A and B are shown apart, each in its own frame.
Chain A
Amino acid sequence: MYGLQRFKNASGQDLFGYLLLAALAVLILDLARRLVMGTLAPGTLQTLAWNGVIDSLYIGLAAIGLSMTYSILRFANFAHGDLLTAGAFSGWTVAYIIGGIGAADIGSRLLLDADGGARAGALGMDILASPLAIVLGLVAAAIITILVAIAFDRLVFKRLRTAGGITLLIASVGVAFVIRYIIALVYTVDERGIVASAPFVEFPVVGEVNLHELTLVVSATVLILGVHFLLQYTKLGKSMRAMSDNRDLARITGIPTERVVTATWVIGAGLAGAAGYLIVLDQSQISINLGWFLLLLIFAAVILGGIGSIYGAIAGALIIGITLNVSLIWLPADLNEVTAFGLMILILIVKPDGLFGGVETA
């Protein structure tokens, strides 16, 4: 009886939510039917799910940073995608400088093969042939992206701390253009593959493993765990939670808010830079629109998980990543992003606090 009562009292918003759940249930049933009937091979589903995990790891890395700046600085940072781009280009430049010594002219290496003089295959740009260069590139990607973000914070965002969210949003669009097209000016606008094809290694039990995917999974997991411990067991995490809750109160209680803001940029931009670098490692293609085209998916992950929660951001990224790939069972490949964006819009309408009720964990 209670359940019925609850259903009667439901608002239109709740009904909409129930409808969504029902739709999800139908899809899961259909998935089971396809598996049982044999129209969908279990192997295919496994591959799709695995690709979903890979996608969700780099979306998640990027989403943590976006979620943190959203809750602490209180604006939707449209330049976040271009931080990924900055990380990808700067990190791979360092990897090319170190890894390509002797194999190609320094001018071609500095500009990531912009003139076709430093082909990835000739340089041996894969994790087995030049592991040191690729790991150092990852570190450099994080550090340089942090420097870029802090520079723009000092130049632009710091002066707008008290401004409204929309003013900051517009300013961040300006920052996005500046970052993206400075990169374009230096590296040209041509899209190109800059990583050699991934080496495979035979492991017991799991079988053949793509080493670039493995690198991505390991680095992303380490980074996410690192941020988790940093925010859970240090004063910084507590200060951030306090600041996203109430900035004035935080300042009154003696929290050095500007230092917390800097720490936010360090963590957020570092993860974004690493994410951009790892995407290129996985997909080989680099272009100035790399981060910009991912931005809406990253927003979708942040919104699904609830703005301000890093665990929410990771969970949201998982949902988006899996949705992007598993939806291919029902939809043609050129419409899978539509499901992700549609999901984002529905969540914003039905449950704007995110799926997990807007609990701000960090």
Chain B
Amino acid sequence: MSESNSERRTRLLRLGGFVAATYIGLFLIGFIGGLSLNEIFGQLISITMYAGVFGLLALALNLHWGYTGMFNIGIAGFMAIGVYTMVFLTASPDPVASPVAGLDLPILVGVLGGVIVAAIFGALLAIPTLRVRADYFAIITLGFSEIVRLFIQSDTLGEIEIGDQVYGTGAGRSVRYSNFRDLTDVVVQTFVPSAIFDTLGAVGLSDSLVRRLFYALVVLLFMLAVLWLLRRIARSPFGRVLKAIREDETAAQSLGKDTRAAKVTVFALGAGLMGLGGILWHGQGSFVEPDLFLPIYTFFIFIALIIGGSGSNLGAMVGGFVFAAFLWDGPRYLRTIVSENLDIDAPQTIYHAGAELLQFDVVPLISYLAESLDELRWIFIGIVLIVLMLRRPEGLYGDQEDIAAAVDLTERPPRGENNE
């Protein structure tokens, strides 16, 4: 379990090398593939942003699952609550600017409100469901996230007239909120002096790329802040109660710990962070729709955390990066390069591709597969999950799981001092 400082340093160095190699590799692939600098940097920035978002969400899930053992597969529901609350708080009341009106509050109030409301819903869900078995809890949370999505999608909440204003979720239509994109604007106006636009512009980066770059950096900052918070919690007495719950809840209770209160608190906190993750994820676009909160998005976060290893904060962030770079954005990038270079005319169905294959023409099958990269990506993700469960259910950094004891009991005292 324990490792010396030098081991930790090598591990971090190797990790840094891996991240750097990924960026350089992607850059080179794009460069050789003949993409423009703006296209390549756009892709790298997008990967950075998603790495931050997935890392943050995986950290939040780690708080539930890795620290406390609560198997929550309702992440999409909490993200939806966070995002839609923020949208309601910040949208403009002007019907021309946005189809459903909001309260026109400042953006930061919106973010905070989204996080708080998501946390409240987390607490409300956790209180009655704490005692149920882990797999039942999983099904309950999945059901909850679907209920949230169905409500947002329903016409009942779609448009609610209060006075002469129409509030609501916009139902199944994607809703554009004029104020929503301000999340990027706030970032840019607060942190980025205009000189930077000129400097980076001289290298060839467009203004919109610079804006996205700084947005990605702010997302990363948020992720690091969450990491700091979780580390503080982990080392506090409260954090030890959480890990005791994960190891043996009855034992923790018999030692007089109020495990119920601890679980409700931690579930609410994690749910709030998931709301924050949702806000950062969709804060860059200027519209939301219920389909962005299908259960499949919950599994994205799960895959990220499982790749890294549940229980380890470092693993959560690495998993977020790996998922963003290789499973989420990587395949799109490859497709851009392929379609840039090959003038492919993909056959309409796999049958046509197969028929041509019988005449020893492989190109149609390859171009069909290139066109179906989304499907291939999902098959690949499924295989990754299966193989991880078969070979390494603890994930890449599973051995880095935070131990439950206050001091590392596996650490032996230096030789000579013990009386062996």
Chain A residues at the B interface, C-beta cutoff of 8 Å = 75-76, 107-108, 110-111, 114-115, 155-156, 159-160, 163, 165-171, 173-178, 180-182, 184-186, 188-189, 296, 299-300, 303, 332, 334-335, 337-338, 341-342, 344-345, 348-349, 352
Closest beta carbon of chain B to A286's beta carbon, Å: 15
Residue contact A185 to B349, C-beta cutoff 8 Å:
no
* Mask of B263-274 contacts with A, CB within 8 angstroms, 1/0: 000000000000
Q: Does B383 contact A (CB under 8 A)?
A: yes
Residue contact A166 to B71, C-beta cutoff 8 Å:
yes
In the bound assembly, the distance between CA atoms of A175 and B384 in angstroms comes to 10
Chain B residues at the A interface, C-beta cutoff of 8 Å = 71, 128-129, 132-136, 138-140, 142-144, 146-147, 150-151, 153-156, 299, 302, 306, 348-352, 355, 372, 375-376, 378-379, 381-386, 389-390, 393
Residue contact B379 to A182, C-beta cutoff 8 Å:
yes
Q: Chain B residues with Cβ under 8 A from A107's Cβ?
A: 349, 351-352, 355
Residue contact A348 to B139, C-beta cutoff 8 Å:
yes
Residue contact B132 to A171, C-beta cutoff 8 Å:
no
Residue contact A175 to B382, C-beta cutoff 8 Å:
yes
- 23 inter-chain pairs at a CB distance below 8 angstroms, sorted by A residue, are A75-B135, A107-B355, A166-B71, A166-B138, A167-B389, A171-B385, A171-B386, A173-B299, A173-B382, A181-B378, A181-B382, A184-B372, A189-B375, A296-B146, A299-B139, A334-B153, A334-B155, A338-B150, A341-B146, A344-B143, A348-B132, A348-B136, A352-B136
Residue contact A344 to B385, C-beta cutoff 8 Å:
no
Residue contact B386 to A178, C-beta cutoff 8 Å:
yes
Q: Chain A residues with Cβ under 8 A from B138's Cβ?
A: 76, 166, 169
Residue contact B383 to A174, C-beta cutoff 8 Å:
yes
Interface SS of A by simple majority: helix
Residue contact B129 to A349, C-beta cutoff 8 Å:
yes
Q: Chain A residues with Cβ under 8 A from B128's Cβ?
A: 349
In the bound assembly, the distance between CA atoms of A256 and B257 in angstroms comes to 45
Residue contact B352 to A335, C-beta cutoff 8 Å:
no
Contact (A186, B378) CB under 8 Å given A344-B139, A345-B140: no
Q: Chain A residues with Cβ under 8 A from B153's Cβ?
A: 334
Residue contact B139 to A76, C-beta cutoff 8 Å:
yes
Q: Chain B residues with Cβ under 8 A from A168's Cβ?
A: 389
In the bound assembly, the distance between CA atoms of A344 and B386 in angstroms comes to 28
Contact (A171, B389) CB under 8 Å given A107-B351, A165-B135, A296-B143: yes
Residue contact A111 to B350, C-beta cutoff 8 Å:
yes
Minimum CB distance partner of B65 in chain A: A166
State the 8 A-B residue pairs at the shortest beta-carbon distance, nearest first: A174-B385, A177-B382, A178-B382, A181-B378, A174-B386, A107-B351, A171-B389, A341-B143
Q: Chain A residues with Cβ under 8 A from B385's Cβ?
A: 170-171, 173-174, 177
Residue contact B306 to A338, C-beta cutoff 8 Å:
no
Q: Chain A residues with Cβ under 8 A from B389's Cβ?
A: 156, 160, 163, 167-168, 170-171, 174
In the bound assembly, the distance between CA atoms of A334 and B149 in angstroms comes to 11
Closest beta carbon of chain B to A256's beta carbon, Å: 24
**Interchain pairs with CB closer than 8 A, number:** 141
Closest beta carbon of chain B to A276's beta carbon, Å: 19
In the bound assembly, the distance between CA atoms of A100 and B105 in angstroms comes to 62
Q: Chain A residues with Cβ under 8 A from B151's Cβ?
A: 335, 338
Q: Chain B residues with Cβ under 8 A from A159's Cβ?
A: 390
Known: A76-B135, A156-B389, A338-B154. 13 other contacts (CB 8 A): A111-B349, A171-B386, A174-B381, A174-B385, A177-B385, A178-B382, A178-B383, A181-B378, A182-B379, A296-B143, A296-B146, A344-B139, A348-B129
Closest beta carbon of chain A to B226's beta carbon, Å: 23
Q: Chain A residues with Cβ under 8 A from B383's Cβ?
A: 174, 178
Closest beta carbon of chain B to A13's beta carbon, Å: 9
Most chain A beta-carbon contacts within 10 A, residue among B146, B156, B349, B393: B349
Q: Chain A residues with Cβ under 8 A from B393's Cβ?
A: 163, 167
Q: Chain B residues with Cβ under 8 A from A181's Cβ?
A: 375-376, 378-379, 382
In the bound assembly, the distance between CA atoms of A348 and B132 in angstroms comes to 7
Closest beta carbon of chain B to A287's beta carbon, Å: 13
In the bound assembly, the distance between CA atoms of A167 and B71 in angstroms comes to 11
Residue contact A342 to B147, C-beta cutoff 8 Å:
yes
Determine which of B136, B349, B355, B386 lies in contact with A115 in the assembled complex, contact meaning CB atoms within 8 Å: B349
Residue contact B382 to A176, C-beta cutoff 8 Å:
yes
In the bound assembly, the distance between CA atoms of A88 and B128 in angstroms comes to 38
Contact (A166, B302) CB under 8 Å given A107-B351, A338-B147: no
Q: Chain B residues with Cβ under 8 A from A348's Cβ?
A: 129, 132, 136, 139-140
Closest beta carbon of chain A to B176's beta carbon, Å: 22
Contact (A185, B382) CB under 8 Å given A107-B355, A169-B138, A170-B389: no
Closest beta carbon of chain A to B245's beta carbon, Å: 16
Most chain A beta-carbon contacts within 10 A, residue among B142, B351, B372, B383: B351
In the bound assembly, the distance between CA atoms of A177 and B386 in angstroms comes to 10
Q: Chain B residues with Cβ under 8 A from A185's Cβ?
A: 350, 372, 375-376, 379
Minimum CB distance partner of B134 in chain A: A166
Determine which of B135, B156, B348 lies in contact with A169 in the assembled complex, contact meaning CB atoms within 8 Å: B135
